[in-house]
């Protein structure tokens, strides 16, 4: 029974922290646009500080920790990708350009054939 009470308290506390994080983020954005007469550096620093505070509060929740864990796993997966070298990228780009040009010519010829056929069938050509 006590585990259920602790779970519901933790869940409601997470909800409060999540709402606080969203509130800080919204207040930061409102402040950024409200104080438009302030120097741009001050406004940007305030925006960055507000976003960092919001992310810190978000990280304190279970859902926030799972989101950050997902981002870390995604970053690890990106590091494992075998990226093509520059010559491979240039070669594939040239192949794509050539295929696009050839397909354009092919479709233009098909269009010209159908135009000739329609003119022939309608008696205009």
The pLDDT, as a whole number, for residue 123 is 87
Domain spans in the chain, listed from the N-terminal domain onward? 1-81, 83-125
Tens-place pLDDT, residues 17-70: 999 999 999 999 999 999 989 899 999 999 999 999 999 999 999 988 999 999
**For residue 47, which of 27, 61, 64 has the smallest C-alpha distance?**
27
As a whole number of angstroms, the distance between CA 82 and CA 122 comes to 57
Mean pLDDT of the chain: 90
Tell me which of 38 and 91 has the higher pLDDT: 91
Instruction: Say what angle helices 40-59 and 62-80 make with each other, to 10 degrees.
Output: 100
The pLDDT, as a whole number, for residue 17 is 92
């Amino acid at each position: 029974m006590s585990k259920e009470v602790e779970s519901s308290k933790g869940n409601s506390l997470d909800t409060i922290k999540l709402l606080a994080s969203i509130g800080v983020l919204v207040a930061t954005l409102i402040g950024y646009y409200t104080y438009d007469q302030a120097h741009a550096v001050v406004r940007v620093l305030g925006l960055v500080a507000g976003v960092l505070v919001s992310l810190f509060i978000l990280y304190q929740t279970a859902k926030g920790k799972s989101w950050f864990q997902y981002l870390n796993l995604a970053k690890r997966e990106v590091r494992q990708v075998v990226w093509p070298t520059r010559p491979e990228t240039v070669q594939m780009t040239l192949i794509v350009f050539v295929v696009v040009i050839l397909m354009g010519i092919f479709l233009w010829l098909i269009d010209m054939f159908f135009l000739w056929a329609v003119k022939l069938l309608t008696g205009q050509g």
